[in-house]
Amino acid sequence: MPNPSTIHDLPTPSLLVERSVFDANVAAMAKVHPGASLRPHVKAFKSSALAAQLKLAGHHSFCAATIRELEGMAKAGLGTDLLLANEVLDARRLGALVAQGHRITVAVDSTETIHAAADGGVKEVLIDVDIGLPRCGCDPADAGRLADLARASGLEVRGVMGYEGHLMMAAPDTKAAAVERAMDVLLTAHADVGGDVISAGGTGTYAVNTRATEIQAGSYCLLDTDYATLESPFEIAVSILATIVSISSKGWAVANCGLKALGMDHGNPTWPEGELMFCSDEHTTLVDPDANLGVGDQVRLLPAHLDPTVARHEQFWVVDGEQIVDRWPIDLRHW
Amino acid sequence: MPNPSTIHDLPTPSLLVERSVFDANVAAMAKVHPGASLRPHVKAFKSSALAAQLKLAGHHSFCAATIRELEGMAKAGLGTDLLLANEVLDARRLGALVAQGHRITVAVDSTETIHAAADGGVKEVLIDVDIGLPRCGCDPADAGRLADLARASGLEVRGVMGYEGHLMMAAPDTKAAAVERAMDVLLTAHADVGGDVISAGGTGTYAVNTRATEIQAGSYCLLDTDYATLESPFEIAVSILATIVSISSKGWAVANCGLKALGMDHGNPTWPEGELMFCSDEHTTLVDPDANLGVGDQVRLLPAHLDPTVARHEQFWVVDGEQIVDRWPIDLRHW
Contact, A51 vs A40, CB < 8 A?
Answer: yes
Neighbours of A81 (CB within 10 A): 18
Secondary structure letter of residue A260 according to DSSP: G
Check CB contact of B109 with chain A, cutoff 8 Å: yes
The closest CB to that of B86, out of A65, A277, A282, belongs to A282
Between CA A295 and CA A274 the distance in angstroms is 17
Residue A137, SS3? coil
Check CB contact of A135 with chain B, cutoff 8 Å: yes
Between CA B7 and CA B24 the distance in angstroms is 22
Query: What pLDDT was estimated at residue A170?
Result: 96
Residue-averaged pLDDT of chain A: 97
Residue of B nearest to A308 (CA): B260
Distance (Å) from the alpha carbon of A314 to chain B's nearest alpha carbon: 8
Between CA A132 and CA A166 the distance in angstroms is 7
Contact, B236 vs B223, CB < 8 A?
Answer: yes
Query: What pLDDT was estimated at residue B2?
Result: 61
pTM beyond 0.95: the answer is yes
Distance (Å) from the alpha carbon of B198 to chain A's nearest alpha carbon: 20
Indicate whether A1 pLDDT > 70. no
Confidence of residue A3 (pLDDT cuts 50, 70, 90): confident
- pLDDT above 70 as % of chain A: 99
Q: Do B263 and A264 touch (CB under 8 A)?
A: yes
Query: What pLDDT was estimated at residue A2?
Result: 61
How big is chain B by its Cα radius of gyration, in Å? Answer: 21
List chain A residues with CB under 8 Å of B247.
Answer: 110
Check CB contact of B137 with chain A, cutoff 8 Å: yes
Check CB contact of B1 with chain A, cutoff 8 Å: no
Between CA A160 and CA A201 the distance in angstroms is 12
Between CA A51 and CA A70 the distance in angstroms is 12
* pLDDT, mean of residues B3-26: 97
- What are the Cα distances from residue B75, in Å, to B85, B91, B274, B313, B332? 19, 17, 43, 20, 11
Residue of B nearest to A332 (CA): B260
Residue A249, SS3? coil
Residue-averaged pLDDT of chain B: 97
Check CB contact of A326 with chain B, cutoff 8 Å: no
Distance (Å) from the alpha carbon of B135 to chain A's nearest alpha carbon: 6
Buried b (16+ CB within 10 A) or exposed e, B205-217: bbbbbebbbbbbb
Q: Which residue ranges form the domains of chain A, and what is each CATH number?
A: 7-14+234-329 (2.40.37.20), 19-219 (3.20.20.10)
Check CB contact of A312 with chain B, cutoff 8 Å: yes
* pLDDT, mean of residues A172-199: 97
Query: Is the bond into B13 cis (omega within 30 degrees of 0)?
Result: yes
Q: Do B246 and A335 touch (CB under 8 A)?
A: no
The helix (H) or strand (E) run that includes residue A14 is strand A14-18
Residue of B nearest to A312 (CA): B312
Between CA B68 and CA B81 the distance in angstroms is 16
Query: Judging by beta carbons within 10 Å of its beta carbon (0-12, 13-18, 19+), is residue A289 exposed, middle or buried?
Result: exposed
Check CB contact of B86 with chain A, cutoff 8 Å: yes
Query: What pLDDT was estimated at residue B145?
Result: 98
Residue of A nearest to B249 (CA): A139
Q: Do B245 and A113 touch (CB under 8 A)?
A: yes
Query: What pLDDT was estimated at residue B179?
Result: 98
* pLDDT, mean of residues B289-295: 96
* pLDDT, mean of residues B134-161: 98
Check CB contact of B331 with chain A, cutoff 8 Å: no
Interface of B with A in 237-256 (CB under 8 A): 243, 245-250, 252, 254, 256
pLDDT digits (tens, 9 = 90+) for A75-113: 999 999 999 999 999 999 999 999 999 999 999 999 999
Alpha-helix residue ranges (DSSP H) falling in A194-259: none
CA B334, chain centre distance (Å):
14
Indicate whether A316 pLDDT > 60. yes
Residue A95, SS3? helix
Query: What pLDDT was estimated at residue B1?
Result: 56
Interface of A with B in 255-274 (CB under 8 A): 256, 259-261, 263-265
* pLDDT, mean of residues A17-40: 98
Conformational region of residue A131, where left means phi above 0, alpha means psi within -120 to 50, and beta covers everything else:
alpha
Residue of B nearest to A296 (CA): B89
Contact, A1 vs A11, CB < 8 A?
Answer: yes
Query: Judging by beta carbons within 10 Å of its beta carbon (0-12, 13-18, 19+), is residue B42 exposed, middle or buried?
Result: buried
* pLDDT, mean of residues B263-286: 98
* pLDDT, mean of residues A253-275: 98
